[in-house]
Amino acid sequence: MPQEDRRTRRTRRLLRDALVALVLERGYAGITVEDITERADLGRATFYSHYTDKDALLSQIVADLQAELDSRLEPLLRAPSVGFSGKPILEMFRHAAEERDAYRVILRGEGDGRALREFMEARSAAAAMVFGHRARAMEVTPRIDIDVLARAWVGEQVAVLRWWLEAEPQPLSAEAVTHMLLELSLRGRYWANGFDGEPPTASGEGSPD
């Protein structure tokens, strides 16, 4: 005894897939409700018996995806050395690869960036919490403002993830790219042994140029 009618499940899935496919083809602003129902092979009236408008459908898609990602991440975020293992980022990249098209819609900023903003805000909040918790646990004042740190870390992930999802063909494995990301975030692009160029002149700032 399924709680949901088989028809509604089918309809919602069809609408979801149609929206995602069409947005990738023509952009969110370029498609109408009728375009969606036509692609899904459904009557236009059916759309409105499930969602109030295009935005509501997109919101639902994003909410479902976030919930799925959160449930996948939840166990990983309880581990003691979060932020050093790279497991959560890897898990996010894997999830994104599985739901590639939906992620592309979100990361492109379709829907006037609302979905992307919400996505990044959720990730940033989680990151800030982890960073803050660790700082308190070790009784240490972080060198860098925690809000800046969290935004930067998430911005990095999201920008690289978008590039990675849009690249054709995938140039790097999820493992390789997340490893680079973690490596970069932990140690920076300048490394003591000079792998990535010369060091800044002094101990901090104020180089000649």
Partner DNA sequence: ATGTTTTTAAACATGCTGTCCACTATTAAT
Partner DNA sequence: ATTAATAGTGGACAGCATGTTTAAAAACAT
Where does this chain bind DNA (CB under 7 A)? 1-2, 5-8, 10-11, 32-34, 41-46, 48-50, 52-54
- Closer CB to a copy of itself, residue 28 or residue 103? 28
Dihedral, CA of residue 139, residue 181, residue 77 and residue 153, to nearest 10: 60
| Three-class secondary structure of residue 26 per DSSP | helix
Binding partner of residue 86 among a copy of itself, DNA, none, CB cut-off 5 to 8 Å per kind: a copy of itself
The least CB distance from residue 165 to a copy of itself, in Å, is 12
The least CB distance from residue 134 to a copy of itself, in Å, is 5
Does residue 94 bind a copy of itself (CB under 8 A)? no
Single-letter residue type at 96: A
Binding partner of residue 169 among DNA, a copy of itself, none, CB cut-off 5 to 8 Å per kind: none
The least CB distance from residue 30 to DNA, in Å, is 10
Number of Cα atoms under 13 Å in the Cβ half of residue 158: 22
Contact 137, 129 (CB under 8 A): no
What is the rounded distance in angstroms from the CA atom of residue 143 to the CA atom of residue 46? 55
Does residue 125 bind a copy of itself (CB under 8 A)? no
Residue with tokens 């790097």: 172
Does residue 160 bind a copy of itself (CB under 8 A)? yes
| Three-class secondary structure of residue 50 per DSSP | coil
- Closer CB to a copy of itself, residue 20 or residue 158? 158
Does residue 198 bind a copy of itself (CB under 8 A)? yes
- Closer CB to DNA, residue 57 or residue 120? 57
What is the rounded distance in angstroms from the CA atom of residue 174 to the CA atom of residue 22? 26
At 6, give phi and psi (nearest 5°).
-60, -35
- Closer CB to a copy of itself, residue 2 or residue 188? 188
